[in-house]
Structure 1
């Protein structure tokens, strides 16, 4: 018997793909929550580090508003934060319901902004080969990201979620992750020693990202798949709340404070 496929026009076209999407969703849930750490192993005081950016930025998904800040403890992101560049009010494109569906990364002031070492440390992971995709700042693009793209990335492993990234060993069991870096922008390699304020890469839009931004977090291991989150505070700033605009000064070389 020859298999036969036909499109049932009595239903919306996307109905035919619903079983695939649901199957992916179930696998994602099992992958993300089934074996993921539930919470940090022990309560820790926030580690004080320098801010990873300079200039005027605003915060999103901040641990100052809730933890876990991104809705899950998976990938060591209990206390993670996202920041977007806001050099002047209105210079960053906002969300649109229908049009434009997507924007080029050059439209966002964060794209290409230098990212700096938050403390003296050693580079233990560094990769920047993934492409920077268009923004996901319309309703249709966001649904595509949430329903399909994020599921496929999750099933492909943490590297596809964080995109291009750098992990610094700050010493005493503390690691700093910088995610969604610009393709080809790394200025360091694995094994390099860095000092606070040293440029590491540039802000991009790789991995599971809606627009060019930096995802930053501290964790207790170099692998986000098994690490648990550690709270942080940025020297001179603290932990900005959601939509709070902050000004980050230039960083001077010094180790992280609060490591024990």
Structure 2
């Protein structure tokens, strides 16, 4: 939420002043700064504008999400994770000396395919500040959230009360490129109340069950996987399109979806997000007609995605049928 161009949610960092009197190095009135933590959740109080064709969350659902985030922050592990995410921001700022990666400056070396088969919808994410998943969180600046939807834009059948009602739940999640698995997490439950705004605030990891794959120095994070579905191990070599797990609702997730981000290091808290360009895609929906370039005027058959688009991977067979020429994924 911005005021005259300034994102006031960043004032939430003042909340850490409340820690000083707790450790005996400041006056008691500094505890009042604890209310500043609420500013971090201002963006979640507004209702979704619905321009991506998905079902909008109402104020009540957003309020329940806010309460979940507050409860998570009050747990010891949630407090530590929040600190790690906040202060981890300074690592990429120092590493890039303030000149953070952009689509124009990034020379992506790995050819990425979408981490799924079939047509999925980009519910969140883009490569501009206006469309970004989480612009101020540097690791997640260029992240994407993907969902499966029906012809009416709904993400579930029936009333959406059960996890199994959601079209994305249990769908295979694939390696977007070949590489080596460097980290996995499994065993965290899928939150059983999807679509209500509540998240798993007792989780040890906001990513939930996840897999991190090293593509020779560029790292893919695939998060919120289904409990018990991760089928790779650290050190294992995976091929492009190989299944690594299934879509779930673990971690900080309001309904089953796939969170994907490309980052410059394997560490979630100190990484810088990189803008991922996907090859071999067929796009429909919002802004699908825009040409995509590598920032130097050269037309490439890669696409930067944005919220509202419907994305389908064009396989070798369909590419040959359509006469499409795409970069070879590795």
1:107–1:70: structure 2 CA closer, same or farther, 3 Å change rule?
A: same
Q: Does 1:58 align with 2:103?
A: no
TM-score by length of 1: 0.71
User: What's the offset of the Cα at 1:224?
Assistant: 0.4
- Following superposition, the deviation at residue 22 of structure 1 comes to 11
Q: CA RMSD in A?
A: 3.2
- For residue 89 of structure 1, give the secondary structure of its aligned residue in structure 2: coil
The reply to whether residue 181 of structure 1 matches residue 222 of structure 2 is no
SS of residue matched to 2:244: strand
Q: Which residue of 2 aligns with 1:166?
A: 211
Determine which structure has greater relative contact order: mean sequence separation of CA pairs < 8 Å that are 6+ residues apart, divided by chain length.
Answer: 1
Q: How does 1:237-252 map to 2 (within 5 A)?
A: 237=281, 238-250=303-315
| Structure (1 or 2) with the greater helix fraction | 2
What is the distance in 2 between the residues matched to 1:183 and 1:21?
A: 22
| SS of match in other structure, 1:191 | coil
Task: List alignment gaps of at least 5 residues for structure 2.
Answer: 1-66, 282-302, 318-326
Q: CA deviation at 1:251?
A: 7.3
One of 91, 96, 106 as aligned partner of 1:45: 106
2:134 corresponds to 1:70: yes
Matched, 1:84 2:147: yes
Summarize the Cα distance change of 1:88–1:135 in structure 2 as closer, same or farther, 3 Å threshold.
farther
Q: Who is 2:258 aligned against?
A: 214
The equivalent residue for 1:97 is none
Cα distance, 1:103–1:46 mapped onto 2, change above 3 Å:
farther
Any conservation in 2 of the 1:46–1:230 contact (CA below 8 Å)? Answer: no
Separation in 2 of the partners of 1:103 and 1:120? 37
Contact 1:72 1:78 in 2 (8 A): yes
CA contact (8 A) 2:149 2:156 kept: no
Give the distance between the partners of 1:21 and 1:134, measured in 2 at CA.
Answer: 17
Pair 1:132 & 2:176 matched = no
User: Which moved further from structure 2: 217-226 or 83-92?
Assistant: 83-92
Q: TM-score, normalised by structure 2?
A: 0.57
Question: Aligned-pair distance for 1:175?
Answer: 0.5
Cα 1:89–1:214 change in 2 (3 A) is same
C-alpha contact (below 8 Å) 1:181/1:203 kept by paired residues? yes
Q: Is the 8 A contact 1:135 1:212 kept in 2?
A: no
Deviation above 3 Å: which 4+ runs of structure 1? Answer: 20-32, 37-40, 87-91, 249-256
Q: Distance in 1 between matches of 2:316 and 2:106?
A: 22
Q: 1:22 to 1:223 in 2, by over 3 A?
A: closer
* Deviations 1:71-106, CA, capped at 9 Å, x for gaps: 4325x2111000001254355239xxxxx7x72111
SS at the partner of 1:167? Answer: strand
Please give the alpha-carbon distance, in whole angstroms, between the structure 2 residues aligned to 1:135 and 1:240.
Answer: 29
User: Helix, strand or coil for the counterpart of 2:86?
Assistant: helix
Q: Given that residues 135 and 142 in structure 2 are in contact (C-alpha distance below 8 angstroms), is that contact kept between their aligned partners in structure 1?
A: no
Q: Specify the SS of the correspondent of 1:111.
A: coil
> How many equivalent residue pairs?
217
Q: Which residue of structure 1 aligns with residue 175 of structure 2?
A: 117
SS at match of 1:33: helix
The Cα shift of 1:69 comes to: 2.2
SS of the residue 2:232 aligns to: coil
Say if 2:89 is the partner of 1:24: no
